[in-house]
Structure 1
């Protein structure tokens, strides 16, 4: 069955009312807390915080690798050679080179960054996690004050786990460092536990303490590194769910659906508007007619200002620009990345991507993300998020321990990626983040509330605060620091209508968590 043609009409008038003020970065949106702690609902009388949990995406980063920037620069060089640039287009080349240099040296000289270069967090990303940690302590001062223990109570641990990828590891380290900087006696409480691993695995070199792929990198579990062949292994289901998801991500159906998204008339019109400001009509026509083709090939070397670090990079040639839509999409990616590099980058890519056109590409990105990472197609069942079950179980198991009187963990902190946060929101059934669409209905802003900027901006986070009065356990969830309801079917577990506090036993039962 062919995927449906998308409605031409996610109205730009609605897009331009975007909550981020005519800036359309979607999952590259810099982080902002969505509620002030002063406006949080007070816990019921007699209750106090006893535990907290966090799942956070890494902070703002640069480009993940030298792909679209280099391919676009190669296209720019062709146009420059042929005298096919407008005055604005002439400026673009230097700004792309500045972007490439900033990414090649990203993190150099920054304490805590082990390997400078593409994919690292920016200073903006570092600050996002440091500030997130500071707000957590301010929100739960008694919990952290009492965590070190005393004469009558043992110290409580702060468990820290990451996906193992550099930017997630760094986010965890910066977060933990901010906790310790604000309250130094927390430092010895921070532990990094052994990773989950298949029963048959005897060598754990790829799973250093504090790293857990089955919890926090489940979208890319591989036969080489993560194979779980034993059906009785607790991790078997996670591995199989990951394989099913990866098969969907590589499927012909998804590729065709993405092609339909990119073939919408408003996308072609937006691409032409962007390109006409930079290149001559003849060059644009030649690109769309196949006379020009640019790939991310070539070798570039960048040396830090102090001369002590050099990064030599070679493009793999796999990213290809062969149409005006390809070129405009590449430029949109640089525009979005620049929003996360405000310290490292002076170039203003918004000059090349006006708001009306950025809005179109933002909607395009959301449509593709909805099918590739988001809740996806109803007939596909839970293939996009079933792999998050182990993570959901882990959240509940931490609260289970506390509810049963095991107070060894004051907090559990997890640092991962958008591909982890997005399915977690879906498996939780959160409003606006989990609603699927039938195969015959194409995603648009008019028929779906799902938005990448709301679900997974940089440093996106889900937090569970646990409260007790000594007899009953309550739970409150924050999503990007906003008090957020669990799935509607669990409203009966609220302690009162309209409250954000849930009776834990009832909530647990509502999610059918196994004992």
Structure 2
């Protein structure tokens, strides 16, 4: 039940909404359900004389279902064949009904939930909705004087709470649930909500593809800009560099070089070992041996019909046949993916997939996914020239532009709220200098690099900048990464207002990032 508090009472909500530092009961990689990384009671107080005047956020969408009927249907097809051959263990016999229950929950996900327009795969789960509702409450509680002031001044000196998103349903819905929560707890902010027009007209030199107000693909979906919607031909266009970097990244995704960087874990003896450990608890060795000849495979074929509990919604889904399981390694990996997604669907799916994925094996498959993401989405290698993150530079620059406006005396924006995807949060961490690349001669692993998907981009991952000003007009900034006070890139330490402080002089901070960008 959401709280309904006057803005002056919002700090009291922390007692109900605050979560401990990262706490989870499994290894879910970037599907880890969100928890703030620091107790708000331990945040540093701003220096004497400084008052909050602005805040901005970029957040990944909340916990969601599977994006489509793919690996789940392929694994279910494998289970059906094993059942027909009487090749299941007692635990394995329970797997099929649990996969089918997960498929049904995904097919109907969001049905009956106000604010979800089209039920089905890819929608936010109840956990994901609450992640953003609570994130909004904690923002209000962290900066009560800022929001109280802009709320009181709404009629006489209105400022804007600017909200943008990627245009994808789960990001749009995360924005909606976040802002709904803001207004439930602070109704006076309602007149300040603003969805700016989408950048237009794009694609250039072709028939424009209009986007709804509030959508900005160049900032929040830049990893997947497409010629049919986003083509930029004019070098003078502010998004030309972003579009070019997006195309370079998408070419990189298809290169043999990336494949070479990503595949080492699959070739190591540990891969076969863990696959056997997982699958022999569910299937007989003879059944698994059928993969050895290379001719056995299972795909996401077939048709499935699911009906809601009230009988009012029926959906029939057909598999595309494009997702195939051809080895024990692939089967175990698909099972790990179901285990990971189920962690954020606990309200919708009662099945406990941790029964099928022992803790040691879950950690192994998380490490493999981290290895792949480090090279595909993360900082990658020092000789990659930032191809995995340069398309996020416009998003980084947007943060600076907002504070530049404040420095110039333009206070029209009280906050800017952005909602996106892991594929933007992860590159942004590299663009901000918070994650470091490895030399090409080194191979990423848990023993030589701190990069972890569960901390870099869990579900509802976020970065927030709180901006304060004193009577002399000096601006200082604090960075919260997953709600933890976090240093900016190490080369900017000289911009701290005092050694070890989490507050940075904005002029020095901007000069530092400008200097690094100029190199």
Over the aligned positions, Cα root-mean-square deviation in angstroms equals: 1.7
Among residues 92, 97, 104, which one is paired with 2:95 in the alignment? 92
Which residue of structure 2 lines up, in the alignment, with residue 120 of structure 1? 123
Report how far residue 153 of structure 1 moved.
Answer: 4.8
Distance verdict in 2 for CA 1:203–1:141, change over 3 Å: farther
Which residue of structure 1 lines up, in the alignment, with residue 494 of structure 2? 492
Which residue of structure 2 lines up, in the alignment, with residue 81 of structure 1? 84
1:218 aligns with 2:218: no
Which residue of structure 2 lines up, in the alignment, with residue 474 of structure 1? 476
1:264 aligns with 2:268: yes
Report how far residue 497 of structure 1 moved.
Answer: 0.5
The answer to whether the 8 Å contact 1:198/1:228 transfers is no
Alignment of 1:129-168 (within 5 A): 129-150=132-153, 153-168=156-171
Distance verdict in 2 for CA 1:204–1:185, change over 3 Å: farther
**C-alpha offsets along residues 253-283 of structure 1, whole Å, 9 cap, x if unaligned?**
2223333222221121111100110111111
Report how far residue 149 of structure 1 moved.
Answer: 4.6
The answer to whether the 8 Å contact 2:24/2:32 transfers is no
The answer to whether the 8 Å contact 1:149/1:155 transfers is no
**C-alpha offsets along residues 396-443 of structure 1, whole Å, 9 cap, x if unaligned?**
01011111111111000000000010111100001xxx2111222111
Q: Which moved more, 1:258-267 or 1:42-51?
A: 258-267
SS of corresponding position for 1:297: coil
Report how far residue 127 of structure 1 moved.
Answer: 0.2
**C-alpha offsets along residues 329-362 of structure 1, whole Å, 9 cap, x if unaligned?**
0000000011000100011100000001111101
Report how far residue 22 of structure 1 moved.
Answer: 5.5
Distance 1:78 1:503 in 2: 64
Distance 2:225 2:394 in 1: 13
Which residue of structure 2 lines up, in the alignment, with residue 15 of structure 1? none
Which residue of structure 2 lines up, in the alignment, with residue 181 of structure 1? 184
The answer to whether the 8 Å contact 2:154/2:189 transfers is no
Distance 1:392 1:377 in 2: 21
SS of corresponding position for 2:74: helix
Which residue of structure 2 lines up, in the alignment, with residue 295 of structure 1? 299
Distance 1:151 1:112 in 2: 26
Alignment of 1:269-280 (within 5 A): 269-280=273-284
The answer to whether the 8 Å contact 1:58/1:459 transfers is yes
Distance 1:271 1:22 in 2: 21
Distance 2:345 2:126 in 1: 8
SS of corresponding position for 1:287: coil
TM-score, reference length from structure 1 = 0.93
Distance 2:60 2:511 in 1: 28
Which residue of structure 1 lines up, in the alignment, with residue 453 of structure 2? 452
Report how far residue 310 of structure 1 moved.
Answer: 1.6
SS of corresponding position for 2:410: coil
SS of corresponding position for 2:151: coil
Which residue of structure 2 lines up, in the alignment, with residue 461 of structure 1? 462
Report how far residue 490 of structure 1 moved.
Answer: 0.1
**C-alpha offsets along residues 183-234 of structure 1, whole Å, 9 cap, x if unaligned?**
1111121110012236746865531110000010000001111111111211
Which residue of structure 1 lines up, in the alignment, with residue 11 of structure 2? none
The answer to whether the 8 Å contact 1:156/1:407 transfers is yes
Report how far residue 365 of structure 1 moved.
Answer: 0.5
Distance verdict in 2 for CA 1:21–1:100, change over 3 Å: closer
Among residues 169, 172, 177, which one is paired with 2:175 in the alignment? 172
The answer to whether the 8 Å contact 1:288/1:322 transfers is no
1:241 aligns with 2:245: yes
The answer to whether the 8 Å contact 1:148/1:154 transfers is no
The answer to whether the 8 Å contact 2:479/2:502 transfers is yes
Greater than 6 Å deviation, 4+ residue runs: none
Distance 2:295 2:224 in 1: 37
SS of corresponding position for 2:57: strand
Distance verdict in 2 for CA 1:121–1:386, change over 3 Å: same
Distance verdict in 2 for CA 1:151–1:454, change over 3 Å: closer
The answer to whether the 8 Å contact 1:29/1:340 transfers is yes
Which residue of structure 2 lines up, in the alignment, with residue 318 of structure 1? 322
The answer to whether the 8 Å contact 2:201/2:209 transfers is no
Consecutive unaligned residues in structure 1, runs of 5 or more: 1-17
The answer to whether the 8 Å contact 1:22/1:355 transfers is no
Which residue of structure 2 lines up, in the alignment, with residue 341 of structure 1? 345
Which residue of structure 1 lines up, in the alignment, with residue 16 of structure 2? none
Which residue of structure 1 lines up, in the alignment, with residue 405 of structure 2? 401
Which residue of structure 2 lines up, in the alignment, with residue 11 of structure 1? none
Consecutive unaligned residues in structure 2, runs of 5 or more: 1-20
The answer to whether the 8 Å contact 2:218/2:242 transfers is yes
Distance 2:153 2:257 in 1: 59
Distance 1:91 1:387 in 2: 45
The answer to whether the 8 Å contact 1:149/1:156 transfers is no
Which residue of structure 2 lines up, in the alignment, with residue 511 of structure 1? 513
SS of corresponding position for 2:300: strand
1:382 aligns with 2:383: no
Q: Which moved more, 1:43-52 or 1:230-239?
A: 230-239
Report how far residue 148 of structure 1 moved.
Answer: 3.0
Distance 2:208 2:118 in 1: 23
Which residue of structure 2 lines up, in the alignment, with residue 29 of structure 1? 32
